[in-house]
Amino acid sequence: MLTYLLKRVFQMFVVLFMVSVIVFCVMSFTGDPVLMIVPPTATDAQIAEARVALGLDRPLWDQYAVFLRNLLHGNLGVSYMFKRPALTLIVERMPATLELVFLSIVISLAIALPCGVFAGARPNNALSRAIMGGSLLGISLPSFWVGILLIFYFAVEKGFLPSSGRGTTGTLFGIPFAFLTWDGFKHIILPAFTLALGTLAMLIRLIRAQIMEVMRQDFIRFARAKGVTWRSLLFSHALKNALVPVVTVFGLQVGSLIAFATVTETIFAWPGMGKLLVDSINTSDRPVIVAYLMIVAAMFVAINFIVDIVYTMIDPRVDLR
């Protein structure tokens, strides 16, 4: 168990190291950040001075060494736009993104589990067919377009839900959260639903396919031969077996929610780290982009690790090596 954990932690650092190299190289080959921060009227001498001040005149590997040393000290550079540490900017905006992602997970699971199980248990039922048609439509929808439709209907036409921003926030453990106030909740509901839609539709399809696959297996038939009721067949025999693979995909889905939060936050002007990323891309604010990618990569690696642990807990056949 301990060796397994150590091995995994080591692997996680290897992956993060590779990500840092790739991110650093790709970002170094593109654009000239110096031109972004000097005033347009700057002379060549001033530009050269700024280049030296940023350390951009040194060889690439040297720049990377500095970057890595700073990274290990928690220093991810200073934003060109905000003139503040990039890490601070992201950490400040992280709660907004995390609450959005969390609420989306809750919405997706609350809808996808019953719908997926039902559609898998009664595949020929008319309602199941409707669920499947709806979910296929759901994975075909561009999420930004759904956001626009929701804004247009609920904010522009009806005017009873706000179209942008986070509203009033309440405080929990010293961290501001929107869902703690009624006003904040009204602000979060549209973006959370928009973000949830794709994951929700995908999970319905996955859960249904898994249930159908498990229901075909021999041990289900054997359980039927034991005289097990249909309900117990579904919930105590099929469901858990069907959910084992869903857990793996769910981990990936959480990562994908964080990624797609960039889009949702941009539409709804939600002040999270995703919107910060898109804004930074548009202003070529390199330190913020790099910091975002490193932090998100660390989050994904951590999520994968948690998923593996959960996997071994629900499936006795999997052994920690």
Partner 1 sequence: MSGPLLEVRNLRTWFELFRGTVKAVDGIDFTLDTGEILGIVGESGGGKSVTGFSILGLIDPPGRIAGGEVLFRGEDLLKKSEDEMRRIRGREISMVFQDPMTSLNPLQTIGRQIDEMLVLHTPLSPAGRRARTLELLDDVGIPTPEDRLDCYPHQFSGGMRQRVVIAIALAATPRLIIADEPTTALDVTVQAQILALMERLVKRSGSALILITHDLAVVSEMTHRVAVMYCGKMVEEAPTRELIARPHHPYTKGLLGSIPRMAGPRVRRLPQISGMVPSLFDLPKGCSFAPRCSFAAGRCFEEIPEMRVVAPGRKVACHSPVGAEEGETKRAR
Partner 2 sequence: MDEKRKTFYRTEFFHNFVRNPGAVIGLAIVLFFLITVIIGPMITPQNPYDIASLDLMDAYKPPVWMDGGDRSFVLGTDDQGRDILSAIVYGSRISLFIGIAVVVLSCAIGTFLGLVAGYFGGRLDGFLMRVVDIQLSFPAMLVALFIMAAFGRGLGKLIIALTLVGWVLYARTVRGSVLVERNREYVDAARLIGLSPFPIILRHVLPNILTPLIVIATIHVGTVILTEATLSYLGVGVPVTQPSLGLLVKNGYDVLFSGLWWSSVFPGMFIMLLVFGINLLGDFLRDELNPRLK
Alpha helix segments (H runs only) across the chain: 2-28, 33-37, 44-54, 60-72, 86-121, 126-140, 143-150, 182-215, 218-225, 230-232, 239-268, 273-282, 286-314
Residue pair 195/104 in contact (Cβ under 8 Å)? The answer is yes
Output the smallest distance, CB 214 to partner 2, in A.
13
Of the candidate residues 80, 177, 179, 260, the single one contacting partner 2 (CB under 8 A): 260
* Site for partner 1, residues 236 to 295, rule: CB under 8 A: 237, 240-241, 244
How many Cα atoms sit within 13 Å of 58 on the Cβ side? 11
CA nearest 201: which of 293, 134, 124? 134
User: Measured from the CB atom, is 194 or 241 closer to partner 1?
Assistant: 241
Of the candidate residues 6, 21, 65, 136, the single one contacting partner 2 (CB under 8 A): 136
Query: How far apart are alpha carbons 296 and 170 in whole angstroms?
Result: 25
Task: Kindly state whether residue 221 participates in binding partner 1, applying the rule CB under 8 A.
Answer: yes
Task: Kindly state whether residue 126 participates in binding partner 1, applying the rule CB under 8 A.
Answer: no
The one segment of 74-82, 89-97, 130-138, 312-320 that binds partner 1 by CB under 8 A: 312-320
* Site for partner 2, residues 280 to 309, rule: CB under 8 A: 281-282, 289, 293, 296-297, 300-301, 304
How many Cα atoms sit within 13 Å of 134 on the Cβ side? 15
Query: How far apart are alpha carbons 32 and 168 in whole angstroms?
Result: 39
Residue 142, binding choice from partner 2, partner 1, none, Cβ under 5 to 8 Å by partner class: partner 2
Task: Kindly state whether residue 130 participates in binding partner 2, applying the rule CB under 8 A.
Answer: no
Residue pair 175/98 in contact (Cβ under 8 Å)? The answer is no
User: Measured from the CB atom, is 171 or 229 closer to partner 1?
Assistant: 229
The one segment of 62-70, 76-84, 105-113, 248-256 that binds partner 2 by CB under 8 A: 248-256
Query: How far apart are alpha carbons 15 and 23 in whole angstroms?
Result: 12
User: Measured from the CB atom, is 84 or 221 closer to partner 1?
Assistant: 221
Buried residues in 106-135 as b, exposed as e (16+ CB within 10 A): ebbbebbbebbbbbbbeeeeeebeebbeeb
Element spanning 177, H or E: strand 175-177
Question: Where does this chain bind partner 2 (CB under 8 A)?
Answer: 15, 18, 23, 26-27, 29-31, 133, 136-137, 139-145, 148-149, 151-152, 156, 252, 255-256, 258-260, 262-263, 266-267, 277-278, 281-282, 289, 293, 296-297, 300-301, 304
Question: Where does this chain bind partner 1 (CB under 8 A)?
Answer: 217-219, 221-230, 237, 240-241, 244, 314-317
